[in-house]
């Protein structure tokens, strides 16, 4: 499962491996190809970065956007390690190739147009465009919505997935069913602070090659690590995602 910190790590790994390398050839299977892919051939990979759960590869004037969703995977390899029919994108570099397998979103467009679209459709990513005041304004506009649902809205909390959502709410001590209008500014600020620090912590673990397990206090767990009481599990409406919370510690 890809959350923002996972996309960030993959972008850093791609940059480390391929930055400055000249693209020799490209193969792509996608409907979101807005410019002729061969225009990228002969260009250097200038930068790889992330924006929420998106991975962005910059080639002079163009961007390739990759979204791994649930099933996509990225490999650095000389030969395809999976069946060719699963290949969605292959970037051929002199030493090794960057290959994306299975159902992700692959988009190729002019850099300016894609950047504009990204900024119109995505909100604040705690790891790339952190802006406390802007995030607070975006949250406060959604008075009627539940905080547990808002945390999954990529146009507000860009890069937060279901696991991080549960863990952020627990650390902030906030019940996922609370609506924004029921929350105080202090609670919203506490939630934002925890959002950023948990994303950073997750990224640090990822960089060390570790999984998310060390930071899971409630996700897929039964007992509250703070009070020892029983955690509640249900699927929250309207997102229907797995939700875990402590009725004692989360108000």
Looking at the DSSP bridge assignments, the partners of residue 50 are: 55
Size, binding site for Zn ion by CB under 5 A: 7
The residue range among 9-17, 43-51, 183-191, 218-226 that interacts with Zn ion, by the rule CB under 5 A, is 218-226
In the range 71-100, which residues lie near Zn ion by CB under 5 A?
A: none
Q: Which is nearer to Zn ion, 23 or 198 (CB)?
A: 198
The C-alpha atoms of residue 187 and residue 193 are separated, in whole angstroms, by 10
Chain position carrying tokens 């202090």: 186
Least Å from the CB of residue 247 to Zn ion = 8
Q: Which is nearer to Zn ion, 112 or 230 (CB)?
A: 230
Residue 185 sits at the vertex; the CA angle it makes with 182 and 229, to the nearest 5 degrees, is 60
Q: Which is nearer to Zn ion, 123 or 148 (CB)?
A: 148
Least Å from the CB of residue 229 to Zn ion = 5
Kindly report the number of other CB atoms within 10 A of residue 247's CB atom: 13
Q: Which is nearer to Zn ion, 61 or 229 (CB)?
A: 229
In the range 121-160, which residues lie near Zn ion by CB under 5 A?
A: none
Kindly report the number of other CB atoms within 10 A of residue 215's CB atom: 17
Contact characters 220-249, Zn ion, x per CB under 5 A: ----x-xx-x----------------x-xx
Whether the Cβ atoms of residue 241 and residue 151 lie closer than 8 Å to each other: no
> Ramachandran region of residue 139, left (φ > 0), alpha (ψ -120 to 50) or beta?
alpha
- Give the residues lining the site for Zn ion (CB under 5 A): 224, 226-227, 229, 246, 248-249
């Amino acid at each position: 499962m890809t959350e923002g910190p996972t996309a960030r790590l993959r972008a850093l790994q791609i940059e480390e491996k391929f930055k400055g390398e000249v693209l020799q050839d490209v193969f792509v299977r996608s409907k979101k190809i807005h410019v002729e892919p061969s225009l990228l051939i002969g260009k250097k990979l200038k930068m790889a970065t992330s924006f929420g759960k998106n991975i962005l590869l910059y080639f002079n004037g163009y961007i390739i956007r990759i979204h791994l969703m649930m099933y996509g995977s990225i490999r650095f390899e000389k030969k395809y390690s999976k069946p060719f029919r699963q290949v969605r994108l292959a970037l051929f570099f002199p030493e090794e190739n960057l290959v994306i397998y299975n159902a992700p979103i692959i988009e190729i467009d002019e850099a300016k147009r894609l950047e504009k679209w990204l900024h119109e459709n995505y909100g604040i990513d705690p790891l790339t465009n952190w802006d406390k005041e802007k995030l607070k304004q975006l949250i406060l506009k959604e008075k009627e919505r539940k905080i547990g649902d808002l945390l999954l809205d990529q146009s507000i909390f860009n890069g937060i997935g279901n696991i991080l959502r549960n863990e952020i709410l627990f650390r902030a001590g906030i019940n996922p069913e609370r609506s924004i209008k029921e929350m105080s500014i202090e609670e919203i600020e506490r939630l934002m602070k925890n959002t950023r620090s948990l994303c950073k912590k997750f990224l640090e673990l990822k960089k060390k090659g570790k999984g998310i397990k060390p930071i899971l206090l409630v996700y897929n767990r039964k007992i509250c690590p703070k009070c020892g009481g029983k955690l509640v599990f249900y699927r929250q409406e309207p997102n229907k995602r797995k939700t875990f919370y402590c009725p004692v510690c989360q108000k």
